[in-house]
Amino acid sequence: METRAEFATYPSLRDRVVVITGGASGIGEAIVEAFAANQSRVAFLDLQVEAGEQLVARLKNAGASEPVFVRCDLTDIEALQEAVRGILEQFGAIDALVNNAANDTRHSVDEVTPELWERTMAVNLRHQFFMAQAVIPVMKQAGRGSIINMSSISWMVPSTGLPVYVTAKAAVVGMTRTLAHELGRHNIRVNAVLPGAIMTERQKRLWYTEEYKAEILAAQALKRFILPEEVARLILFLAADDSSAITSQSYVIDAGWV
């Protein structure tokens, strides 16, 4: 008889205000679900209105803490800042930020134009800095906070076929380390999470050919695919008080690829 796995819950996350970017689908959706299940007060930002509203309705019907969906184009920094102000007006605090939003659309070196470069950096790197900048004042006032930046193992492998994305994800680690040392005296922790090949619906639809799946399993130490909820469980730990002494670190979750 198969037994159902049980996973940790974190009492310190109850009623904490958590902001998640790109929370309507994929890894972000799993992160929203995980914090809601821990009874956090969740606000998530995304451009996907239908998916965002469906997620709110599903979690409400499941009896989890009901998240707030904020439609926001994160490449528009003024809109991003306005969204954070609205969240603060509603909740009065922000205890954790998960900078999750990204786009790994494939591109070759030859087709990179200045416009593609700027667009790719805007969606994969720039908003992470400005989201952090927007929440830092309220975290300083509270005397604590956790910022979790999503990077990727793509720059460690290294990956090919998406050079600007890989550059952005490497930069996330550098940004994480400098912010951790800038903000540590305020008891604000900053860490990065570096997923490998995660089995999201987008990845399955666009990239997971039989050949690519075989390549993944051959490279990994664990011969199975990683699910979005497994990434979310790592992020819960980094947001909770259980990790209160951890900052300036990069956590790889890739089933042993690198």
Q: How far is the C-alpha of 209 from the C-alpha of 53, rounded, in Å?
A: 30
**Is residue 10 flagged as an active site residue?**
no
Choosing from 10, 165, 208, 212, the catalytic residue is 165
The length of the chain in residues reads 258
Q: 142 forms bridges with which residues in the sheet?
A: none
Q: How far is the C-alpha of 208 from the C-alpha of 225, rounded, in Å?
A: 11
Q: 44 forms bridges with which residues in the sheet?
A: 20, 69
Q: Which amino acids are annotated catalytic? A: 165
